[in-house]
Amino acid sequence: MMEGLKFSIPKRLFFIRVIVTLGLIISFLLSVNLWGGERLFPDTPFFTDFFLKTPYDYSLFILSILFLISSLIFNNHRLFIFLSLTVNIFLVLFDLNRLQPWFYIYNAILFILLFYNGRVDNTGKYTSIFIFVQLIIASVYIYNGINQLNSFFVSTDFYNVISPLEGLSSERQFNFFMKIGNVIPFFIIFIGFGLIIKPLRYLSISAAFIFHLTLLILLFPSEKNTNYALWLMNLVFGILVLFLFSGKTTERYFSFSILFQKPLFYLVLFAFWIVPVLNFFNYWPKSPTTNFMYGMSGKQNISISKNSFEHLPLYLKHFCVKNDQGYLLKVSNWCLHELSSECVINSSFKEAFKDDKLPVTQVDVKETEEELSSL
């Protein structure tokens, strides 16, 4: 299979554009609550007065999908991709929760493909674009693996992924599966480096297929696994790895020195290879990020007072646990349940979850209005 993929690089770029575009469209539809409609989970806009009310917030979401579909139908696909990317920027500005890792990566790849005009007579041009996309995908594996090199990964993130096996295996077998979690970060890092090191590439491609196939099975959409867009990305990545790394992926007369003459190379290098390092050492904001496990760290909890808890809707009380100081609102669980996505940490995150900004029951709203009218 690896040797059999003999498409030229321009043809591969065409398939990559189609795959990523379809992946983004379907992911939009799998996370509709994230893009519009009534919800209790608060918006975290980049500008505090920068928002669209329901149902007008659906307009941008639908417009972006229409532009993406148009890019697959009409010849001038770069124009429609550009328009979709522009709309997507506004979607994120209206709510930073939308800057999901899959959304960031899909849009980044489409942005890179904007610079390829479809010509097949410029080897340096299309091969450079192809390598830029390769660098993006390889970095996702490497930095996800690095971020999972911590003492909590096996007992939290890895356990959540393999928990469906707990009821299908004996205690000894499940403990064995848990021990495998200690090598998973190294396995993912190997995939990333193996994809860009030619002697290891075929082995790395096989490892990537096994990895994504396993996640497609274990994270199959269910009441527990509600991040459907993240589940879908395993399928998208599996196909992308095939088109990006299998077979002959470099033109015979291409010189890698050409990369250093392309400003886009330094942008990719900074955004996908330097920024993750700065994220890791807290020298750069965590968002945007390519780390798919970032929202699953279990640290997105907000302390709220007992008084605030008493006035919360019953729906939100379900996501609270009592502690010594009052209550802990499990924001990650709330976001995953309501938006089918992980919460994105940003500068306005804590501001949106202050006690006085949390939603209250309808009874409390009416009582407050009556008190104000009597003054």
Domain parsing of the chain, residue ranges:
9-31+100-294, 298-373
**Is the pLDDT assigned to residue 175 strictly greater than 80?**
yes
* Per-residue model confidence (pLDDT) at position 38: 84
* Per-residue model confidence (pLDDT) at position 82: 98
Q: Which helix (H) or strand (E) holds 351?
A: helix 349-352
Confidence of residue 365 (pLDDT cuts 50, 70, 90): very low
Tally Cβ neighbours within 10 Å of residue 294: 20
Task: Tell me the sheet residues that pair with 301.
Answer: 330
Q: How many residues does the chain have?
A: 375
Q: Single out the residue of 239, 141, 240, 152 nearest to residue 187, CA to CA.
A: 141
When mean pLDDT is compared across 78-82, 153-157, 231-235, the lowest value belongs to 153-157
The number of angstroms, rounded, from the C-alpha of 172 to the middle of its chain's C-alpha atoms is 34
Which of residues 106 and 347 earns the better pLDDT score? 106
Peptide bond before residue 288 is cis, with ω within 30 degrees of 0 = yes
When mean pLDDT is compared across 13-22, 183-192, 322-331, 351-360, the lowest value belongs to 351-360
**Average pLDDT estimate for 141-170:** 88
Task: Give φ, ψ of 360 to 5 degrees.
Answer: -120, 170
Pairwise CA distance, residues 60 & 53, whole Å? 12
Cβ–Cβ under 8 Å, residues 264 and 130: no
pLDDT in tens, 78-136: 999 999 999 999 999 888 889 999 999 999 999 999 999 888 888 889 999 999 999 99
Confidence of residue 356 (pLDDT cuts 50, 70, 90): low
Classify residue 32 by its DSSP letter: G
H helices of 197-227, in order, are: 201-218
Strand pairing report for 320-323 and 326-330: antiparallel
% of the chain at pLDDT higher than 90: 49
Q: What is the CA radius of gyration of the chain?
A: 23
